[in-house]
Amino acid sequence: MSLTMSSVARFNEVAEDGRRVLQFHGDMTLSKLGVLPTRLDRLKGDGFRIDLSDVGRMDTIGAWLVHRLVRDRGGEVVGASKDSGLLLEQVAKADQPVKVRPDRTPPFQRVLGQIGEATSMAGSSMLGLLGFFGAMLAGLWNLIKHPRRFRVNAVVQRFELVGVHALGIVGLMTFLVGIVIAQQGAVQLRQFGAEVFTVNLIGRSAIKELGVLMTAIMVAGRSGSAFAAQLGSMKLAEEIDAMRTIGVSPMEALVLPRVLATVILMPLLGFYAAVCAMIGGGIFCWIALDIPPVAFVQRIREVVPLTDLWQCLIKAPVFGLIIAMAGCFQGMQVESNAEEVGLRTTTAVVQAIFLVVVLDAFFAVFFTAIGWL
């Protein structure tokens, strides 16, 4: 401890032998700096003599200020204590050109670059997904050749997570959507005195589109994202590398059980969702339109052709495949850090829902073309 009372760092200027001398006082430490840096910046002229004899404590930041003054303006340091001298040497040694900020590109170029990057990313991501599909088929073929390697337990476990745990939320959601469709349809159809056709609207839309689409969106949000996050964090923890070195194929142990479970459960969930939507719509019809449940069911059986159900059951496994594949693929793409897991999870969900909707449009056109109206 120095004899100087701890106090704010400051300096005053005196002339000695025709030279400007800066006498520093107080503690030149970060917490005591006050306005010293600004005052030093405003100082005009150069070639000072810097007198540190009255300085109390000094830390590297105080030493840096002195060092900078000498470096930029020239001059000499006198009266530095041993420790201060060593500190000055230390900061002088550390004074190297260091880049602090990343390079900035002009905004226009940056935007162009980002567009290009995003486009190529989207392209390579789709290509990667296709490659992943191929690898998965190869894995499946291997599994068919050696059926004993099939992991029944892993698949059944996924059944529970993908299917059973989703029953509540999927059911509630489609039930409510069924009510909304019935209510909105009834309002419009009432204008033509055709309220009774509300049943057609509910029955056909629920089975053909609503049930399976809403389920796909829910499963993408619940399970697709979970797959991406699980595989992503396993990738980060080098679990997947460890698996490979032990000779376990991640494709067989991780990806296929998840994909199979989703593919098998999507039709079941989709059908269940369609039923829930019809129950919702039916209850609305009963309460608001005075169509009793028996008549509602009777009418549904008359107006909904069996082909609608086939459409639902054909689309569902395909959607399940896409959701599970997008989730697993994005999870396996994680490489560097935890932040990427989050990004990849988001991408998995967006990609899955996008592809599901696009394919749904193709299916609609296709089924119409083959006469399944």
Partner 1 sequence: MSGEEEILISVKGLKSAFGEQVVHEGLDLEVRRGEILGVVGGSGTGKSVLMRSVIGLQVPVEGEVQVFGESMLDRDEGELQNVRKRWGILFQGGALFSTLTVAENVQVPLREFYGRLSEKLLDEIAAYKIVMSGLPPEAGPKFPAELSGGMRKRAGIARALALDPELLFLDEPTAGLDPIGAAAFDSLIVELRERLGLTVLLITHDLDTLYAICDRVAVIADRKVIAVGTIPELLALDHEWIQEYFRGPRGRAAEGAVEADADAQSDSGATPPARAEA
C-alpha separations of 190 from 187, 215, 289, 300 in Å = 5, 30, 10, 19
Describe the chain by its helix, strand, coil percentages, rounded to 5: 75, 10, 15
User: Which residue number, 1 or 152, has a Cβ lying nearer to partner 1?
Assistant: 1
359 part of the interface to partner 1, by CB under 8 A? no
Residue of 46, 54, 76, 83 that binds partner 1 (CB under 8 A): 83
| C-beta of 153 vs 336, nearer to partner 1 | 336
Please state the closest distance from residue 60 (CB atom) to partner 1, in A.
5
Q: How far is the CB of 332 from partner 1 (least distance, A)?
A: 19
Residue 238 interacting with partner 1 (CB under 8 A): no
Count H helices and E strands in the chain, helices first. 15, 4
Closest approach of partner 1 to the CB of residue 113, in Å: 18
Q: Which residue number, 37 or 79, has a Cβ lying nearer to partner 1?
A: 37
Characterize the bridge pairing of strands 75-78 and 10-16.
unpaired
Contact 55, 24 (CB under 8 A): yes
Q: Does 342 bind partner 1 (CB under 8 A)?
A: no
Strands 19-28 and 10-16: antiparallel
Closest by CA to 230, choosing from 253, 254, 256, is: 254
Closer by beta carbon to partner 1, 117 or else 302: 117
- Tokens 């899955």 sit at which residue? 352
Check residue 33 for interaction with partner 1 (CB under 8 A).
yes
Q: Binding of partner 1 at residue 194 (CB under 8 A)? A: no
Does the protein bind partner 1 through residue 94 (CB under 8 A)? Answer: yes
Q: How far is the CB of 12 from partner 1 (least distance, A)?
A: 21
Phi, psi of 285 (to 5 degrees): -60, -40
65 versus 266: smaller Cβ distance to partner 1: 65
Q: Which helix (H) or strand (E) holds 346?
A: helix 338-369
* Residue 29 DSSP label: S
Task: Kindly state the smallest distance separating residue 103's Cβ from partner 1, in Å.
Answer: 8
Q: Is 30 an interacting residue with respect to partner 1 (CB under 8 A)?
A: yes
Under the binding rule (CB under 8 A), the answer on residue 72 touching partner 1 is no
- Please give the Cα distance from 140 to 144 (Å, whole number): 6
Tell whether residue 31 is a contact of partner 1 (CB under 8 A). yes
Binding mask 98-137 for partner 1 (x = CB under 8 A): xxxxxx----------------------------------
Q: Which residue's CB is nearer to partner 1, number 33 or number 261?
A: 33
What gap in Å lies between CA 325 and CA 314, rounded to an integer?
Answer: 18
User: CA of 6: how far to CAs of 24, 141, 165, 297, in Å?
Assistant: 13, 79, 66, 89
| Closer residue to partner 1, CB minimum distance, 59 or 239 | 59
Of 41, 54, 76, 241, which lies in the binding site for partner 1, with binding defined by CB under 8 A? 41
Could you tell me which residues are beta bridge partners of residue 28?
A: 58
Sites of contact with partner 1 (CB under 8 A): 29-31, 33, 37-38, 41, 59-61, 64, 68, 83, 86-87, 90-91, 93-103, 336-339
